[in-house]
Structure 1
Amino acid sequence: MATSTTAVDAPADVPAPGRRPRGWRGLPVIRQLRQSVGLQRGMLVAGLVLTGIFLVTAIFAPLLAPFEYSQLRDPSGAFGAQQAPSSDHWLGTTVGGYDVLSRVIWGTRTALYVIVAAVLMSIVIGVLLGLVAGYFGGWLDRVLVVVADAIYAFPSLLLAIVVGIVLNGGESSLRGGIMAAALSITVIFVPQYLRVVRAETVRIKAEAYVESARVIGASHWRIMSRHVFRNATRTLPLILTLNASEAILTLAGLGFLGFGIEPTAAAEWGYDLQKSLSDVTSGIWWTSLFPGLAIVLVVLGLTLVGESLNDLADPRLRTRRRGPVTPADVGETSVVPGSPSADTAYLDGKGPA
């Protein structure tokens, strides 16, 4: 009579093969964090920490900044220009008499505003045009692709400067400056989303389930919104993180060249760097070091998150954790009396021979 041993139950927190973990463990970033190991995990954690610090600083800027971004004096008197770091001004003051620490902290909020506005507009416009171009094809597809290629032919920063000048003449208030910078960046990012979504849409519309939906009489809008959209936009979170870092660099470039936001309207790192150029040759290092360091750290954090998510999304680049191999736990093992397996099972205490 054959005797069988049942596989040992897996731990409750380990998902079944081929299934995604449920609950908070299934969230996009958490899932990739649990998949990562070694250097990949270190890069992702470092990027998340830097990005988290940036977001927390931007949200709580009024509480963290000791002064307003345009404040020049307090009850004790004027701050003074180019003051070295001290107990009153931890990071010193600028050539215009502003507190460097306050300008750096308030600059995170300006950068976050531009990132949110630019990325949201880019995604909405780019995804919509990509779906239409890839699904319907024809002359509309060719026109959109040609326009996207024409935009790619222009240097991104030069194109942003032209758009900024057209919108506000290069100088603006906080709201006008943010919208000008966001629209400038949107013009650059829309072709990226258009090309990615269009390529995925062309591939997906030839799948069997799309053909089946078309045969049963589903409308084009239903097919695009229910079947094509979800599958064509799976890689957008990866592009979003990388474009967020590019948005900060573009915003800083506009401010550095004098086409950004006025200092009395908002704090902006690129503008502060441009005003501190003459300080560097005079040995005044604090007015340029900290705004530049803020740009580097924020861009580094967003880039690390984007590159790590990109590696983990590609099975060829993902490093999988090896679990312990226990032959006795694999499936059901049938033991036939008198066989070598039966003798081994008996000696191991797993069943009678």
Structure 2
Amino acid sequence: MTAGEITSVGTAGAAPEHVEGRGAWLKKLPVVHQLRQSVGLQRGMLVAGIVLTVAFVLVAVFAPVLAPFGWSQLRDLDGAFGAQQPPSAEHWFGTTVGGYDVLSRVVWGARTALLVVLVAVLSSIVVGVLLGLVSGYFGGWLDRVLVVIADAVYAFPSLLLAILLAIVISGGQSSMWGGILAAALSITVVFVPQYFRVVRAEVVRIKAEAFVDSARVLGTGHWRIMTRHVLRNSTRTLPLIVTLNASEAILTLAGLGFLGFGIEPTAAAEWGYDLQRSLSDVTSGIWWTALFPGLAIVLAAMGMTLVGESLNDLADPRLRSRARSGQVSGAVAATAVGESVEADASDPANPAAAEPREPNPKGDDA
């Protein structure tokens, strides 16, 4: 074998990794990694959830372009829209009892829901992770007090707690940003105990590991140990909680608006409020004012729920199913025992190949 052949054989196995190294960072992203790992029904659920979630985000981001009218617009150059008008070429989803365009209210409502989800989830992560990190790392009386408070808040009905906080913060209704912040903060208080309990449990487990003890022996400060060693290893399950909490935030916001504690209709569009105002229309045969806001709530919440449940299944080895691969890494002749024996037996240079095998008198293989 020449030197060139040795070089080609030695680097043949490393070539695919070198070629794929450029896109390795993309494959390690949370959702992309789980998408490549999923199979069958799990992949179908994850893909459906991603499609619905991406559609919801795109509609919310490009609401000024997609919405034909403003969320509180009642007339155009041709005059007033009219109340409870059926779907037509001018108004694809019809108009509400107040004379608003249903399509515009649905599109602008996606932006309101997205803003509330972002503020609520980010605030919950910051507060919950910080409290869980401090409580789990230091322990003592502070840990006991925080655990009791978190359990008490977690045991309280989430929607009732959000209603009480919305009344306290904004008096029930307010402007667009005031209502968004009030709804987001009320949802934040409900979500903080979830992040606190998950992060605290991981911190309690990780701080007893050998690498944390080694960092203490080397004289590393508490803050550096908490941020560089403990925190980085205790937040792996947060993407699962974020997706599930995002769908719950949409439902909580819709519940607040449906009960009349949300955002004023002239300040911003909100699906729950529009659904509540259309209840009386259903009995009169006016179906379009309730169908489209309700469908928007269902699709947005279902998309995020499918993503969260799929990620949860893939993170659990007991629930994760793997595809059976028929391909074997490397050359089959080099890995298969039977073929390697036949190759050795057929090789003239092999001394064992020239020796005939005597039959076993007992009839068994030697």
Q: Same fold (TM over 0.5)?
A: yes
Q: CA deviation at 1:23?
A: 2.5
Aligned partner of 2:316 in structure 1 is 314
Indicate the SS of the match to 1:12: helix
User: Is residue 65 of structure 1 aligned with residue 67 of structure 2?
Assistant: yes
Residue by residue, what CA displacement relative to the aligned partner does 1:27-62 show, whole Å, maximum 9, x if unpaired?
211111111111111001000000010000000000
Once the 2 structures are TM-superposed, how far is the Cα of residue 344 of structure 1 from its aligned partner? 5.2
Partner Cα distance (1:320, 1:68) in 2 = 49
Select 1:280's aligned residue among 270, 279, 282. 282
Query: Distance in 2 between the 1:91 and 1:26 partners?
Result: 41
> How many Å separate the matches in 2 of 1:181 and 1:13?
48
Name the counterpart of 1:40: 42
Aligned to 1:150, the other structure's residue is in SS state helix
Q: More displaced, 236-245 or 145-154? A: 145-154
Distance in 2, matches of 1:294 and 1:37, equals 28
After superposition, where does 1:116-265 map in structure 2 within 5 Å? Answer: 116-265=118-267
Rounded Cα–Cα distance in structure 2 between residues aligned with 1:204 and 1:218: 16
Structure 1: where are the runs of 5+ without partners?
Answer: 347-351
Q: 1:97-149: CA deviations, max 9, x gaps?
A: 00000000000000000000000000000000000000000110000010011
State how 1:25-104 maps to structure 2 within 5 Å.
25-104=27-106
After superposition, what is the alpha-carbon deviation per residue over 1:253-287, rounded to whole angstroms, capped at 9, x for unaligned? 00000000000000000000110010011111000
* CA deviation profile, 1:171-193 (whole Å, cap 9, x unmatched): 10001000000000000000000
Task: Please tell me whether the aligned partners of residues 262 and 273 of structure 2 are also in contact (alpha carbons under 8 angstroms).
Answer: yes
Displacement, 1:345? 6.6
Matched, 1:12 2:16: yes
Q: What is the distance in 1 between the residues matched to 2:221 and 2:157? A: 40
1:210 alignment partner AA: V
List, as ranges, runs of 4+ consecutive aligned residues in structure 1 with deviation greater than 6 Å.
13-16
Cα distance, 1:70 vs. partner? 0.2
Contact 2:27 2:33 (8 Å CA) reproduced: yes
Distance 2:296 2:322 in 1: 34
SS of the residue corresponding to residue 129 of structure 1 reads helix
Is the alpha carbon distance of 1:100 and 1:345 closer, same or farther for their aligned partners in structure 2, counting shifts above 3 Å?
Answer: farther
* Aligned residues with identical type, % of pairs: 72
- In structure 1, what is the Cα distance between the partners aligned to 2:234 and 2:275? 40
Residue 144 of structure 1: SS of its match in structure 2? helix
The change in CA–CA distance for 1:286 and 1:333 in structure 2 (over 3 A counts) is closer
Distance 1:103 1:219, change over 3 A: same
Aligned-partner Cα distance in 1 for 2:264–2:30: 38
Aligned positions, number: 340
Q: Which amino acid aligns with 1:255?
A: G
5+ residue gaps, structure 2: 1-5, 355-366
Amino acid of the residue matched to residue 13 of structure 2? D
Select the structure that is richer in helix: 2
Larger Rg: 2
CA RMSD of aligned residues (A): 2.6
What are the Cα deviations for residues 218-257 of structure 1, in whole angstroms up to 9, with x where unaligned? 1110100000001111100110000000000000000000
Amino acid of the residue matched to residue 16 of structure 2? A
- 1:23 is matched with 25
**In structure 2, what residue type is equivalent to 1:55?**
V
Q: Tell me if structure 1 keeps the 8 A contact 2:154–2:194.
A: no
Higher relative contact order, chain-length normalized (CA < 8 Å, sep 6+): 1
For 1:200, give the aligned amino acid: E
Instruction: Spell out, residue by residue over 1:53-94, the C-alpha distance to the aligned partner (whole angstroms, 9 max, x if none).
Output: 000000000000000000000010100000000111000000
Task: For residue 332 of structure 1, report the CA deviation from its aligned partner.
Answer: 4.9
Provide the C-alpha distance between the structure 2 equivalents of 1:267 and 1:250, rounded to a whole number of angstroms: 15
**After the TM superposition, which residues 292-331 of structure 1 pair with which residues of structure 2 at under 5 Å, given as runs?**
292-326=294-328, 329=331
Q: What is the distance in 2 between the residues matched to 1:326 and 1:62? A: 53
Question: For the Cα contact (< 8 Å) 2:13–2:330, is it kept in 1?
Answer: no
Residue 63 to residue 330, structure 1, CA distance change in 2 (3 Å): same
How far apart are 1:320 and its partner, in Å?
Answer: 1.6
Q: Aligned residue for 2:3?
A: none
**Cα contact 2:39–2:321 (8 A) shared by 1:** yes
327 and 239 in structure 1: CA distance in 2 versus 1, 3 angstrom threshold: closer
